[in-house]
Amino acid sequence: MANAIFTPFAEGLADDTISLPTGVIKAAFVRSYTFSAAHKFVSDVTTAGGVLNGTSAALTTKTQTGGVFDADDTTVTTTANATNHGILLFQASAVTGGADVAASAQRVIAYYDTGTGLPIQPGTGSTPITWDNGTSKILKIS
């Protein structure tokens, strides 16, 4: 599978239910997941067999320039020493930010399982995520 954006993410941008600038955006390691472009919520990922193994804090220093989203590198604290993790990018809060909402309301944005260092093989403890510093950064909307 190649890295991909979830179809409902584009819909969320259009209807203002997802906001990269104001929503709390996080990354999580996920294993045992087969990507479906139709998935809309984190609960869809876990219902489909995806197992989350740690989630980052809110991404910081978020920028959106020319259709490209970027933020500072982050760290995920994992609890299981398991193999073959992808990265799930999602909006953890309401569109206006604030506290995390239930997984059934957390909007998925993108899934990454291809690239340098992917899939991830974390042990327990802190594992860094270093976002691409090229032209696509974290996410390029085109």
Q: Answer yes or no: are the C-beta atoms of 55 and 109 closer than 8 Å.
A: no
| Count of structural domains, the chain | 1
Whether pTM exceeds 0.85: yes
| Least confident stretch, 15-24, 68-77, 92-101, 132-141 | 132-141
Q: Answer yes or no: are the C-beta atoms of 89 and 112 closer than 8 Å.
A: yes
Q: Position of tokens 């974390």?
A: 122
Query: Domain of 55?
Result: 4-140
Per-residue model confidence (pLDDT) at position 111: 97
Provide the pLDDT confidence category of residue 81 given band limits of 50, 70 and 90. Answer: confident
Provide the pLDDT confidence category of residue 1 given band limits of 50, 70 and 90. Answer: low
Phi-psi region of 97 (alpha: psi -120 to 50; beta: other; left: phi over 0): left
* Mean pLDDT, the chain, integer: 94
